[in-house]
Amino acid sequence: MTDETAFTYRFEPGSKPGAPPLLLLHGTGGDENDLLPLGGMISPGSALLSPRGRVLEHGMPRFFRRLAEGVFDEDDVRKRALELGAFVADARQRRGIAQPVAVGFSNGANIAAALLLMKPDALAGAILLRAMVPLSDPPQAKLNGKPVLLLSGQADPIVPAHNSAKLATLLSDAGAHVDHKILPAGHQLSQADVMLARDWIGGVDARAA
């Protein structure tokens, strides 16, 4: 069992009743502080749970190991996704929060996608920013209509278009309700990402109310 003390993290309590908690998952080289401003812009008043990845690559935190750019150590992906799921379960119990919606960027989006596939009950949904397929042979997940927003960059040099399209299909086939949008952007985030994520999560908030 991985408890919440196994991760360095930030937690900000929610101030808006009914607003979905957010699990913020940074990209390579980020930390537990990186996505707090983004979380506040996407869903003001939501509780924010923001762990730091426990794997180091040349001193840069990540959520799992990779063998090369775009080539993942899939055994480590599976292991780290289960660790993250245990952390979320423990943090929920300790902090008294509902199932969070993951908001992940790049490496953080990839571990969020893996968490959806490995431990579907850990999340209420996900916003996947510049995500790739995390597992070539994923388990048969049952996502039962969980909402997923997948935002890809048309000029992304790291995530090929066919890969993000494959991820959208993979999650849809597992039963998720996937909204996949391709933006005129590269790998970095844009104001359009913020606006689309805010509008999308507002709809999730309204459906949960």
3-state secondary structure of 156: coil
Measured CA to CA, the distance from residue 28 to residue 34 in angstroms comes to 11
Catalytic residue list contains 156: yes
pLDDT of residue 3: 54
Identify which of 113, 109, 114, 106 has the alpha carbon closest to the alpha carbon of residue 77: 114
Verify whether residue 172 is a known catalytic residue: no
Query: What dihedral angle (degrees, nearest 10) is formed by the CA atoms of 27, 171, 135, 69?
Result: -40
- For 136-150, what is the mean pLDDT? 95
pTM: 0.95
Q: What is the CA radius of gyration of the chain?
A: 15
Q: Are 16 and 96 in contact (CB under 8 A)?
A: no
Instruction: Compute the distance between CA of residue 62 and CA of residue 33 in angstroms, rounded to an integer.
Output: 14
Q: For residues 71 and 163, what is the distance between their CA atoms, to the nearest angstrom? A: 12
pLDDT over 90 for what percent of the chain? 90
Q: Which residue is catalytic, options 43, 50, 156, 164?
A: 156
- List 43, 106, 152, 164, catalytic entry: 106
**pLDDT tens column, 180-197:** 999 999 999 999 999 999
Extents of the domains making up the chain: 4-208
Catalytic site residue from 90, 187, 190, 205: 187
187 tagged catalytic: yes
CATH architecture designation of domain 4-208? 3-Layer(aba) Sandwich (3.40)
* Confidence class for position 209, pLDDT limits 50, 70, 90: very low
Which of these, 144, 145, 146, lies nearest to 112 by C-alpha position?
A: 146
Question: Which residue did the predictor score with more confidence, 69 or 164?
Answer: 164
